[in-house]
Amino acid sequence: MSAKMIDGRAFAEMLREQVSLEVARLKENHGITPGLAVILVGQNPASQIYVRNKGIQTKAAGMASFEHRLPDTARQADVIALIERLNADPTVHGILVQLPLPGHMNTEAIINAVDPSKDVDGFHISNVGLLSTGQKAMVPCTPLGCLLLLRDHHGSLTGLNAVIVGRSNIVGKPMAQLLITADCTVTIAHSRTRDLPELCRRADILIAAVGRPGMVKPDWIKPGATVIDVGINRIEEASRSRLVGDVDPNAAQTAGAITPVPGGVGPMTIACLLANTLTACCRTHGLREPD
């Protein structure tokens, strides 16, 4: 039996349409245009593609898009001064600093310079604290996208065993917080975990956020489990490159449902960024937040 493919592309498109409708409503009823500012430091090729896509999709949703590009020779103080200007700018409701930053910069200091109410990536320490205490927070986009796909597929997640492979601040840890709040029983695995295959075999929901192509094998998966593959790995093959996930594609023979790469979690991330920008805008203006 082959797993159901969870179509993140279609879900993301639906989410972006909902956001566009809300943006149009905000403009018409309140004369407000949500604005997203993206800061890119340096020339990282993957980051340049992400930033370009974010700009295109922001504008397509009817929002204002502000792009700020700094050379990789920029000083940390220059980035923080720019963030402070954007914090004070009423036309900017969301600020995103594209990661990774050049090695001479302190990523935490820069992220924590963003006004938490404009922190649409949800990486500011205040939002991390709010999320981990179950309070209203800005939720990191990739885990939020995974949660939306899981809720759409399962309905209630109550009582399910979730195993998350990866403990990064941007995916693994916030994913765990969201699933705990959704009443899953959550285990986080990492590079020092013992007998990872056995642990994974206990999961009703298995989330792979590792950055290792095809690491999760078909026999690591409980028959019928839902597998969310967050990994985006570029591999070179026969002189061309392609994207693959952290899960071996043959896992579809064992899983009940699985997200493909590409076309699974990836498109959800930008859609959730737009949704977070809309949410930030509504909160700033004291308006009802979209559901």
Cα(139)–Cα(123) distance, rounded to whole angstroms?
8
**What is the number of other CB atoms lying within 10 angstroms of the CB of residue 127?**
24
Show the tokens assigned to 265: 């979690």
Burial class from Cβ neighbours inside 10 Å (0-12, 13-18, 19+) for residue 1 reads: exposed
* Residue whose C-beta lies closest to ligand NDP: 168
Of the listed pieces 15-23, 58-66, 188-196, 220-228, which binds ligand NDP according to CB under 6 A? 188-196
**Can you tell me which of 269, 276, 277, 279 binds ligand NDP, judged by CB under 6 A?**
269
Max Cα distance, the chain (Å): 56
Of the listed pieces 79-87, 116-124, 219-227, 264-272, which binds ligand NDP according to CB under 6 A? 264-272
**Can you tell me which of 139, 266, 276, 282 binds ligand NDP, judged by CB under 6 A?**
266
**Can you tell me which of 57, 98, 142, 259 binds ligand NDP, judged by CB under 6 A?**
142
Q: What are the residues whose beta carbons fall under 8 Å from the beta carbon of 36, sequence distance 6 or more? A: 54, 58, 63, 64, 65, 66, 92, 93, 94, 95, 96, 120, 273, 274, 277
Cα(114)–Cα(109) distance, rounded to whole angstroms?
9
Residue 143 is a binding residue for ligand NDP (CB under 6 A): no
Of the listed pieces 57-65, 131-139, 230-238, 247-255, which binds ligand NDP according to CB under 6 A? 230-238
Closest to ligand NDP by CB, 95 vs 210, is 210
Q: Which residues are catalytic?
A: 54, 98, 121
Helices 265-284 and 45-60, packing angle to 10 deg: 60
Residue 70 is a binding residue for ligand NDP (CB under 6 A): no
Closest to ligand NDP by CB, 132 vs 168, is 168
Cα(190)–Cα(108) distance, rounded to whole angstroms?
22
Residues flagged as binding site for NADP(+): 166-168, 232
Residues flagged as binding site: 166-168, 232
Catalog residues that contact ligand NDP under the rule CB under 6 A: 142, 165-168, 170-172, 189-193, 196, 209-212, 230-233, 265-266, 269
